[in-house]
């Protein structure tokens, strides 16, 4: 066993700062990459209240992310992983079709499920959302619905972010 691994095992997590991905050595990982596929920095568990607040911030941020000027820096502060990359693609599609979203009511009605372990968490919430898509400043589609959405959260670069979302049911 390598001494660095032994040190990591013997050092309590609360005494060590979150590691940076570029300082991690990953077994069976190509040397060309500077991160581990499954690595996310260590953290204390997120609470139910913190997870709910993050989802609320995401709903509020959608107003600025999916409408001009399409705030990518805001997107980067709240999301990571699949949700970030899919949203960037969505923004590019909206721009190329001269489209954008406007939101009315956006509300977390209830938390259906929540689980957290280390640097990952999952929260299922019942969300009501009023969304209208405009194309060339004319209404293209509109929806008002309540659905259960599962969000996958990850602790990344010292903050919790939403990594993925999936509509579970309407």
**Got the DSSP string for the chain?**
--HHHHHHHHS-GGGSPPPPGGG---TT--TT-SS-TT-----PPPPHHHHHHHHHHHHHHHHHHSSTT--HHHHHHHB-HHHHHHHHHHHHHHHHTTEEEEEEEEEEEEEEEEEEETTEEEEEEEEEEEEEEEETTEEEEEEEEEEEEEEEEEEETTEEEEEEEEEEE-
pLDDT digits (tens, 9 = 90+) for 88-126: 999 999 999 999 999 999 999 999 999 999 999 999 999
| pTM assigned to the model | 0.74
**Is pLDDT at 3 greater than 50 in this prediction?**
no
pLDDT digits (tens, 9 = 90+) for 124-147: 999 999 999 999 999 999 999 999
CA separation for the pair 113, 150 (Å, rounded): 9
The pLDDT assigned to 10 comes to 31
The pLDDT assigned to 42 comes to 53
pLDDT digits (tens, 9 = 90+) for 17-67: 333 333 333 333 333 333 334 444 455 789 999 999 999 999 999 999 999
CA separation for the pair 148, 128 (Å, rounded): 9
The residue assigned the tokens 């500077």 is 34
The pLDDT assigned to 5 comes to 33
Which position has the higher pLDDT, 28 or 148? 148
**Is pLDDT at 11 greater than 50 in this prediction?**
no
The pLDDT assigned to 157 comes to 79
Which position has the higher pLDDT, 97 or 13? 97
DSSP letter string, 61-88? HHHHHSSTT--HHHHHHHB-HHHHHHHH
């Amino acid at each position: 066993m390598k001494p660095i691994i032994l040190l990591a095992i013997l050092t309590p997590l609360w005494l060590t700062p979150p590691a940076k991905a570029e300082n991690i050595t990953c077994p069976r990982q190509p040397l060309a990459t500077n991160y581990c596929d499954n690595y996310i920095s260590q953290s204390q568990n997120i609470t139910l209240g913190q997870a709910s607040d993050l989802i609320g911030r995401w709903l509020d941020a959608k107003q600025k992310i999916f409408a001009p000027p399409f705030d990518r820096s805001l997107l980067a502060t709240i999301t990571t992983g699949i949700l970030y990359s899919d949203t960037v693609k969505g923004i590019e599609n909206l721009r190329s079709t001269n489209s954008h979203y406007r939101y009315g009511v956006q509300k977390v009605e209830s938390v259906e499920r929540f689980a957290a372990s280390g640097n990952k968490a999952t929260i299922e919430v019942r969300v009501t959302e009023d969304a209208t898509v405009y194309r060339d400043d004319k209404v293209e589609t509109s929806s008002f619905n309540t659905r259960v959405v599962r969000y996958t959260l990850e602790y990344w670069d010292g903050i919790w972010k939403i990594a993925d979302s999936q509509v579970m049911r309407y």
